[in-house]
Structure 1
């Protein structure tokens, strides 16, 4: 039996998802071991039937669930373990859209619990790369209510009422449950979300899926989930080097950006949960007491709550830093 008293920075094998709208950037830019039409790389996942497997160190080959069952609050923090027990609370992804994703909406915790015995889905997007003309769909382009929405739906005019926003590298968005949204063609992004795989599709561009079948729409389920008020999704944040810059906070996670031009020591004692770093550019060695691990562009690492301090050894790297408030 493997035993280790002090946890170490943990990397996981990506879970790659082929999608009808997927592309090749996860391979070309991040060197994921992917083929054409891979739309998502699930970096750290506790979603049922998609449990991440450890890729480094003494626990290589063990699962995230095994870690939780054996290390509990040492892995995720006392409050997080008290709230979620052996369910890892967040899902981390890279998403490559070579075509438009379906227009969709996610339920909040109350509706998801009632219908699916699941968490809802609050999520955050950070734009990594955009081809010319790349856009996101966020909410509606006019004042909307249930009656106007249903009229557009019955007339097959959903695209005419959607709000499109042009995006650039570095833009960030928090999408609360109820926000009608879609990732547009040519956008590569990082996504942080609650652990949930519940999506209600309301429009899918009249296209077949990878099996040649039309994907199911969830018109009735979506109706009770949609928030018809204009969303306030776009985040504004400052720029600084060698110190975390706050991007956004939800009830479920905090996201900072960390741009390093030199080695950096991070005190984690004030953070009461695990911390995750998604590497956006460059590379680094992450050192803890007695352990070191390389992290490069397109990789993700989990720092257990038990670890009080880490050191980044680098002269050029940037990250999203995520933890639970």
Structure 2
């Protein structure tokens, strides 16, 4: 099912866990291509080269800390260790163990990111003991003529790819999309891609930080060094087939409209103008990303405010609530368990 409006079909056995929408301290990442647009989402930046805000993460040591409620100052890892069923959901815990299986980010590309790709689960497991990295982008703001690169213009081959890489003509055979606010793209593993300068977006992905960089526009850092490329690793991982990654959709007021339903995550968009009520089961957590406006999550007589730039984790055990306000929200969960 693409909708999370499901009948409650199982109840948690514990009363120790307090269910409420959990928010976290973002983890900010300085990047060679980063800027200062994340300030517009309420992030406190230390400089003008912040490229990423990791909103919910359990990758290595990049683990977010709770900022609200009775679990304030606990880490996401601590919470999941204590309450795996209550937070993740019974089916997610059964499939992934005590690992949060998704990573949520905001990205600010002041200049072009490198041309890159991510391996699939099989290759990532074999080479890095990691998940692969299927991901999606929701464009929140784009400067005039801002564009992304996604896949080949036509079906290609390893030989053609290597030839263009050698001659520094790789961008000429890649598909460009000029973007605007609200555009959605689905990036399957193996798809060669790059975010262009002038774009602020929300990214939803598998829990993985494995990236194969194949071309970096001949950039150098402050010390005059080029960043490492991963040409050999990428060769087997690239999907050389032409893709159609742009997702077309029509918003419906106060309803959840499906954008993407893949094995790793399902993402809907909620165009909130008044109220949207949810009754769900305990199989999976929910995450809401507020891309525009202001909302509140109301449950058991309590009201939790959500503003643009907030990312909120709704534990699996929280079954009944309403969203109220005027906002655009991305609604994320795992449907195929």
Calculate the TM-score normalised by the size of structure 1. 0.95
The root-mean-square deviation of aligned C-alpha atoms, in Å, is 1.4
Aligned match for 1:317, one of 303, 327, 331:
327
Residues 20-31 of structure 1: pairs in structure 2 closer than 5 A: 20-27=32-39, 29-31=40-42
- Deviation per residue, 1:113-136 (Å, 9 max, x gap): 000000000001011111000101
Q: Is the 8 A contact 1:20 1:210 kept in 2?
A: no
Q: Is the 8 A contact 2:17 2:86 kept in 1?
A: no
Contact map agreement 1:287 1:311 (CA 8 A) in 2: yes
Report the Cα distance in structure 2 between the residues aligned to 1:91 and 1:211, rounded to whole angstroms. Answer: 31
Please list every run of 5 or more consecutive structure 1 residues that lacks an aligned counterpart in the other structure.
Answer: none
Provide the residue aligned with 1:238 in structure 2: 250
Specify the alignment match of 1:140 in structure 2.
Answer: 152
Aligned equivalent of 2:136: 124
CA contact (8 A) 2:272 2:324 kept: no
Q: CA deviation at 1:292?
A: 2.9
Instruction: Say whether 1:109 aligns with 2:111.
Output: no
Distance apart, 1:158 and its partner CA: 1.7
Question: What is the TM-score when the length of structure 2 is the normalising length?
Answer: 0.92
Tell me if structure 2 keeps the 8 A contact 1:6–1:306. Answer: no
What CA distance in whole angstroms lies between the structure 2 residues aligned with 1:73 and 1:166?
A: 42
- Mapped partners of 2:148, 2:299: distance in 1: 39
2:111 is the counterpart of 1:96? no
Supply the distance in 2 between the matched residues of 1:259 and 1:156 (Cα, whole angstroms).
Answer: 43
Superposed displacement of residue 291, structure 1: 3.8
Q: Which residue of 2 aligns with 1:259?
A: 271
Tell me the secondary structure at the aligned position of residue 223 of structure 1: helix
Q: Is the 8 A contact 2:272 2:327 kept in 1?
A: yes
Task: Please list the CA deviations of residues 89-138 of structure 1 after superposition, one character each: whole Å capped at 9, or x if unmatched.
Answer: 00000001010000001000000000000000000101111100010101
2:171 equivalent to 1:171: no
Aligned pairs for 1:1-325 (under 5 A) are 4-27=16-39, 29-34=40-45, 35-209=47-221, 212-269=224-281, 272-289=283-300, 291-314=302-325, 316-325=326-335
Shift of 1:4: 4.4
Say how many residue pairs are matched. Answer: 320
Q: Secondary structure at the match of 2:108?
A: strand
Partners of 1:129 and 1:8 lie apart in 2 by 30
| Equivalent position SS for 1:237 | coil
